[in-house]
Every structure is written in structure tokens, then in C-alpha cells.
Amino acid sequence: MRIRKKSWADKEFSQNTTIIDDPREYKGKWHELFGNDNPIHIEIGCGKGNFISEMSIAHPDINYIGIERENMVIVSALRKSREMGVGENVKFFCEDVANCLEIFEKGEIDRIYSNFSDPWHRRKKWAKRRLTHRNFLNLYEQLFGEKGGELFLKTDNRIFFEFSLNEIADKGWTLHNITLDLHNSDYEGNIMTEYEKKFSEQGMPIYRLEGYYNRKPQQT
């Protein structure tokens, strides 16, 4: 589906300093761009930006990067971040996640958030498109490097969630904080996405997991 261009998009792109026009220029230099050695967390499919903007405000000692494929989607995240008054610890760029090794050096990323990605559940042959398919997990392992890293996932789709659990377990990662109903669990500190708020208001359960590659789960 083609997304209609927003009348205010050009102005937002030209004036918002959080957007990175050519992220490949910063491969191996993202810490220099942020001006510190804080951990870097990325959100794949940042949507309208509520989650990553709130995370950046709640955790100023973490650097955040929001990634989207569509310009007319990410521009909404830019406006959201500006309206919320985010600090210097958040950036955005448009790109397909499959190209991330052209953008990040191995070991530059500490955590990946995948919130309500397309489950691609209607046809079996679409499984390779899922962001938790082993091909993508292999990609994430390279982004994490030898130091390891973390994948935090939320979804409303049970089929996709069960698939993700199996793929992550088969890769030998450690699974932690698995919940089949996030909003009725004892998990603390949850920040909702736009989709999450919509689905929860409809009474739909939210599934969540944490996958750790070469790294021990955090103590909670």
C-alpha cells in the first residue's frame, strides 16, 4: 500500500536534526556521532516514534536509533520526537534492515527492539520475511559481535510469537521474560507503541520476549 505524502514532510525532513540522510557514512562511527560511548539500541520499524522517543527520554544514558523503510512513516516519528523534546541521544534513518551490515560495524549494536513487525503468517513461504527468522538472527549476531547483544520483541500475533520462540531457541540464544499477556503480567517499565495501545484497548493480549545472544539476561 502506497503511503500518501504529507504536506509538512519536506519541512520536517529539512529542519529536524535527528534524521540521518546517509547512515552509511557513520559505519563504525556511531559513537562519534553521539559523542559518547554509551550503548546503542536500535528499533527496527519505529513507526510513528512514540516508543523510541519515550525510551530516549527515560534512558538518557542510552543512544537510540529508529529505523523505518518508508519516508512518510519515519517523518511522523521525526515530528513526534520533536514535539516530545527528545535529547541528543536519538537518531532516525530510512533503510531496509537487511542492509544493516552496510551501516553498522560488527559489535556496534547492543540491543534490538522489534515491536509489532509484520508477522507474515498467511503463507508458509513468507516465513523468511519474518524479522525473527534465523536468517535475520544471523544478521543480528553480526551486529552484536563477540560481546553479544539482546533482542526484545513484542507482538499481538500468537503464530508469529511461537515461531520466534522456536527460532531463537534453535539458535541457542537464552530466552528470558517470556509473557503471553504483557499488560496482565508483573513486568515493570513497559513503554507502549501506538499499535500496542490500540490492540490493548481492544482487549487483545500482547506477547513479549527477550532473547540474549552470548549475554546473560538482566536481573529483574
CA separation for the pair 46, 115 (Å, rounded)? 8
CA separation for the pair 42, 45 (Å, rounded)? 9
Of the listed 96, 118, 170, 181, which one is catalytic? 118
Q: State the amino acid at position 37 in one-letter form.
A: D
Detail the DSSP E strand segments found in the chain.
Answer: 40-44, 63-68, 90-94, 111-115, 149-155, 174-179, 207-213
197 contacts 204 by C-beta, under 8 angstroms: no
110 is an active site residue: no
Q: Which residues belong to the active site?
A: 118
